[in-house]
Structure 1
Amino acid sequence: MMTRILQPKRLIGAAVLAGVAIALSGCGVAAFPVRVTSATAKIVPVAGDVVAYPLDKTADAID
């Protein structure tokens, strides 16, 4: 029986998949939606900073 050798396309695909997984493994990706929500809340004149404070602390905890 003939041994199966990895095809170049599969090898390149596996390398790209590994690279994407390593790039997205940071916690900044998970904290991004919280930071965007916090920045949006800060636009509100009076209550914006009060609402954004816990969101900032949550994003800091995720990082």
Structure 2
Amino acid sequence: MSTPRILARFTRAAVWLALGAVLLPLGGCAVAALPCRLTSATLKIIPVVGHAAASPFDMCSSAID
């Protein structure tokens, strides 16, 4: 097995472990609301219309919580 393949596998495993460590403290509702919150935060970056476009996703995450 070559060194780049070993490094790629190690990196992939490290990314999955980091993702698990980030999501572990979140409860069931928080994990379910995460896509709504991420979409809302991403839309709010857009000038002028971002907050208006993000409001349905804010309501989605509030309803889940």
Shift of 1:25: 5.5
RMSD: 1.6
Which portions of structure 1, spanning 4 or more consecutive aligned residues, are displaced by more than 3 angstroms? Answer: none
1:35 matched to which residue of 2?
37
Counterpart residue type for residue 55 of structure 1: F
1:47 matches 2:58? no
Matched AA of 2:47: P
SS of 2:28's equivalent in the other structure is coil
Long gaps (5+) in structure 1: 1-22
Structure with higher Rg: it is 1
The alpha carbon displacement at 1:44 in A equals 0.2
Equivalent pairs counted in the alignment come to 41
Larger helix proportion of the pair: 2
1:59 corresponds in structure 2 to 61
TM score, norm. by length of structure 2: 0.57
Aligned-residue sequence identity (percent) comes to 56
Give the 3-state SS of the residue equivalent to 2:41 in structure 1.
helix
TM-score (norm 1): 0.59
